[in-house]
Every structure is written in structure tokens, then in C-alpha cells.
Structure 1
Amino acid sequence: MAPSVTGTRLDVLAIGDALVDVKASAEDSFLAEEGLVKGSMQVLDTEGATRLYARMGQARETSGGSAANTMAGVAALGCRAGFVGQIADDQLGEIFSHDIRALGVEFNTPPKADGLPTGRCLILITPDAQRTMSTYRGASHELSADVLDPEQIRGAAILYLEAYLWRSAGPRAAMERAMAIAHEAGRKVAFTLSDIVCIHAHREEMIAMLDSGAIDMLFANENEIKALADAGDRETAIEAIQSKVPLVVVTCGEEGALAVEHGRRVTVPIARIGSGVVDTTGAGDLFAAGFLVGQTTGRSLEDSLRLGAIAAAEVISHFGSRPESDLKELVATL
């Protein structure tokens, strides 16, 4: 990798959901007893999350969340990553903090002694390899601007924000404060639209944020960019958004990915690793990791897109949302 941005302590600092992924095997009969639709994703309240967690069998628990996955990818690629996310002072909070630090990601957010428990994504894997997910946001959506470390933000070349947190007032205020600190320090701010459900309720706010110049780099997939632009097709959507943000990055499924920077457009095909697609969980998160690493190490748009494509291809070649192969070795030829 090329040298990182001078005068920085971190290459990328992310703010996002601090969730623990709890993965356990389950029979179809267990899903039926719980009234769960195989392959679906539901949002749980505190009572529902506590009850389902207690009923799950032996589980593997690891730090999770979209932006946290991206930072795991940044660290795996050999760059300096940091993460800000709210956990509670409980067992799952300890698991999250230990796991993400073990990956080489700086995590200094103090746990909350009161309030909601640590957020979690309860993942039931049936014998046919289908994943049924139940998410409890918990303490992650209690993040406030009070826990931000301005020096940590100033010391990161890129501040990366996820839209999942944008839906809650406290985290939104924290992200707005972090954006202001980053720009005052001359740093770049990246924002990922995360999921189409995040856009519908906050589209006008997001457009206003782009119009204000708060975002330097926008990540989206095809459906998300169309929802943000309120357009029926990808090209119309990109045309509408590219004038609002200096750099737009769009993943396009089997067509690969594209980036538009100040009107200049670059496209790359998908990368293929191993046996192909096994599990698409985390593909967008790891694509963003590769692209961010490319940008913070001075790579071209084309190489940044290729780094993203390789990182995404690796994570979809196996189950799970974190890389298992040596990403540094996979991208060494670039």
C-alpha cells in the first residue's frame, strides 16, 4: 500500500451501529415455534431480543454492524481503522469491544452503565444454510455527541458514517457534530446509504445534507441511489446526485461498480474469488473498505474500485460478513 495521508493517526474512522452478531444453528421447527420466516430479517424490542437470545442454542458471538464490518476490512487491508459506536456495560458489550480491538480497530467509546442493553443481531442458520436474522438496535441508537473524541476525529483522514444510525435523533446529532469537526480539520467525510429503508423516512434531510456540502464521498447500491434521487433508473439517479457530492460510488451487482468524481466516470467489473457467491452478507461493507483504503493511500479511482471489488468478492465467497482470507495478499498485485 502507498503511504497514508500525512498528519493523520487513523486512515478511516467510522461511526455506526455497535452490534454483536450472535450466530447459532437451528432447525426449521425452531423457526416455526418462534413464528420466524426463513431468510427474513425482523427488528426486535428489548423483551423480544432477550427472550429469543435465551432460547438460542450454542452460539458464536462476534462484533458486527455495517460500519464495524467496513473497519474490520480496512484493518485487514493493513490500514489504520477506528470505530465509534455505543455499547452497554454488559456481557455483549465486553464481547463487542474485545472482538473489534482484536481485529486491530481502535475502539474507545465508553460503555453506558444505564439505559438499553448492547445491540445484537440474532442469526439462526438452518441446515439448508439459510440465514434468518432478528436485529435489536439497543444501546447503539443511544449514541450521543458527548462521547465523541474531537482529537480522534481530527486525526482520521476519512470519517465514514452509516445511514442506519441516521434514523435516530441522538446518533444523527453526533454524526453532524463529527462532520463539522472533520471538515474544520480539513478531513474528508464519507456517507453510506446503508439500506433503502433508511432513505424513505429521511430522504429530504439526506438531500439537504448533500446540498450543504457536508459529504465528500457517497456510497450506494443501485436501489439506494434511485431511492435517494426519487428516480426510476440508475443513470437518471446518478445524473441527479453527482452534482451534489464530489465523489459518488455505486455498486451495480453483476455489472460491477462505478465511481463518478467531478463528472469523470470510471467503471470496473466484479472480481471473482474461489467458488463464487456463497453468502452476500457484508458485500457492500467490504467493498467500501477496499475503496476507502484505495482513497486514503493515494490510489486512482480505478484501483480503489478494484480494491473494493476484490474485498467484496472475498467476503461473499464464504459465510459471514468478515474476511477470512488474507486481503493484503489478494490485493498485492494492484
Structure 2
Amino acid sequence: MLDTHVVRVESIPERSDGALVDTIRLSPAGTAGGTGVVLARLGAQVRSFGAVGTDPAGDALLAMLGREGVDVAGLVRKADVQTSASVIPVRPDGERPAWHCIGANGAFTLDDLDRGDDGPLAGCDHLHLGGPEFLGGPVAGELLAWARERGLTTSVDVLAPGDADLLAWIVDALPHTGHLLPNDEQVRGFTGESDLAAGARALVAAGAGCVAVTRGAEGALVVTADEVVEVPAFPLGDGELVDTTGCGDAFSAGYLRGLALGRSRADAARLGCAAAHHVARGLGTDAGEYDLDVVLALAGPASAAASG
């Protein structure tokens, strides 16, 4: 999706009045787009699959992803819907409500995805599915199962807020999900558990191999059937925090990149927290200057044991 960040929105002007703000900035975003951008910055080869409109927003989104090194050949363009987009008014205290138009994301189906032996998915070693709720659990499960049958590892990040009905909608995807990457509010909403570790364990019991939960300024929680590991966030200095939009997507990217580098789940989560730290210092996942070396320097060396 395409995000429009509007910084220092103190109020919505009355009637047709206007107001000045500090910054208006466009950036590629979302549980697939934002994650893909950060993965590319961290040195991964990234191919993006999905749908965008034939509108100028789609042109801009394709250009931005391409500029970051993301292969966009798998993105189909649909003339009858607009490109998925959000407008995010960032308040002076950092709160960031949003307006969102689902657009082309709701029109993407598996028929739009070439799964042939010589198709664009050939040669990939990991499939990250952002927003499985748009496909629905059975269809998302079909795609993830297809990937795992071909030796790909898999991960899933849900875009919508968590509630029990949404979990029921996507639950068929969980047995084929190697790594589920929700935030803390989603976990509590999905499961009704006030204790985050208990909620994550419930999602593991529902089929997910590992649940790596973001906890905002507290960092992350990594839960499997055998362990619960807390990973702290990297604190920001005075004046460093710009906007937390996209930090969850950055964590996902850092975590997945860490696993690909052979790090343990806990060390991969540290890499995810380090990526989120850098993204929080700019507007959008594509803001600022960071790469794998920069993020690794903050995350620190990997532990001796690795269990991706």
C-alpha cells in the first residue's frame, strides 16, 4: 500500500479551513510492502506479489519499490480498483490514527499468482504473506502449504486489528505458518488472553510453528511450544523518535533476515528490534540511511547456538 504521512496534525480544520503541518511524505508500506523494503535494505533479494491499481498512486508505489531494489514483476495492475492507500496524521504527541482504503489488496486472488515451475516464485526460499485476511484462511493455507511442499519456509503478518472472529477467518493458514508475526494487541484480541505469553502459546497450539510478537517500546516476545524468550527494544535518545509507523514491518524484516543468516530466533528478534529502532527515526520504512551492517552493529553478535 501507499502511505501518506502528515506530520504535526493538531486538529482537523473546520469546514473548508486550512492548516499548516511540518511534513507530508509518501512511502511504500504494509505488512508486505513495508517488510519488503526493509528486507531489501538488509541485503535480501525480494520479489513482491500482489495487486495495485492503474492509477498514479500505483505508478508511484511501483517506482518507490523498484528504487529500493524490490522486484515488482509479480505485481498485477487492476483497472477497476484504486491502489491500496492510507493517510496517517501524526499528532504532536506521536499518536497516529489512520484513514485506509483497501482498494486493490481486496481484489488480489491466487489466480493472479503464477505458481508454475518456471514462474517468478521459482528459486525463492521463503514466502512471507502479509494480510492473509484478504485471501481468507483456506486460500491462504493453500498458498502456504504449496510453498512448504516446495521447501520454502513461511511467515505471516496480519494487517487488521485482532479479534476472535478474524482469527476464525484465518485459522486454516496457521498450520502452514512457520513464523507468525503479530503485535501484542492482535494476540490479545485473537485469543482473549490478557497474558501475552499465554496468548502466543494459544496461537502455537492452533498451528503456528513460532509466534514472534512485537510489544512496542518493550521489544518482542518469541514463543514456541518449548520456550518463551523476551527480547528488549533498543531505546531511542531524546529527540530521536520521529514516527513508529512501519516499525512492526521493520521488525518482521529484521527477524526474517536474521533467520536467513542462521541466527537463533532470539538473535533474529534482536535484529528485528534493531531494524525497528532505525525505522522509528524516520517517516516510513524507506526513510533514513540504514543497511545490514548498520543494523547488525546495533543488534550485536549472534549467540553461539542458532535454531532458525
Q: Common fold, TM-score beyond 0.5?
A: yes
User: Secondary structure of 1:86's partner?
Assistant: strand
Name structure 2 gaps, 5 residues minimum.
302-308
Higher RCO by CA contacts (8 Å cutoff, separation 6 or greater): 1
Partner residue, 1:42: none
Q: Which runs of 5+ in 1 are unaligned?
A: 1-18, 36-55
AA aligned to 1:141 is G
Query: Contact 2:133 / 2:169 at 8 angstroms: preserved in 1?
Result: no
Q: Identify which of 1, 22, 32 aligns with 2:4.
A: 22
Deviation at 1:29, TM superposition (A): 6.7
Write the deviation string for residues 150-178 of structure 1: whole angstroms up to 9, x where unpaired: 23334222211123x51455xx6763443
Q: How does 1:1-334 map to 2 (within 5 A)?
A: 19-24=1-6, 31-33=13-15, 60-124=25-89, 131=96, 133-150=98-115, 151-163=119-131, 165-167=132-134, 175-197=140-162, 199-210=163-174, 213-243=175-205, 244-275=207-238, 276-333=240-297, 334=301
Give the Å deviation of 1:27. 6.7
- 1:279 CA displacement: 1.6
The amino acid across from 2:130 in the alignment is: E
The CA RMSD over aligned residues, in Å, is 2.9
Task: Provide the rounded CA distance (Å) in 2 between the counterparts of 1:249 and 1:132.
Answer: 24
Report how far residue 249 of structure 1 moved. 0.7
- State whether residues 73 and 323 of structure 1, in contact with CA within 8 Å, keep that contact through their aligned partners in structure 2: no
Give the whole-Å Cα distance in 1 for the aligned partners of 2:218 and 2:32: 24
Would the alpha carbon gap of residues 277 and 266 (structure 1) be closer, same or farther in structure 2, given more than 3 Å must change? same
State the Cα deviation string for residues 7-62 of structure 1 (Å, max 9, x = none): xxxxxxxxxxxx22234568757543379xxxxxxxxxxxxxxxxxxxx9x95433
Equivalent pairs counted in the alignment come to 289
Q: Distance in 2 between matches of 1:285 and 1:298?
A: 20
Counterparts of 2:108 and 2:263 in 1: how far apart (Å)? 33
The 2-side partners of 1:304 and 1:203 are apart by 26
Report how far residue 83 of structure 1 moved: 1.4
Provide closer, same or farther for how the CA distance between residues 115 and 330 of structure 1 changes in structure 2, counting only shifts above 3 A.
same
SS at match of 1:189: strand
Quote the Cα distance in structure 2 between the aligned partners of 1:202 and 1:130: 25
- CA, structure 1 residues 323+301, in 2 after alignment: closer, same or farther (shift >3 Å)? farther
Identity over aligned pairs, percent: 25
Distance in 2 of aligned mates of 1:253 and 1:110: 31
Contact (CA 8 Å) 1:123, 1:132: kept in 2 or not?
yes
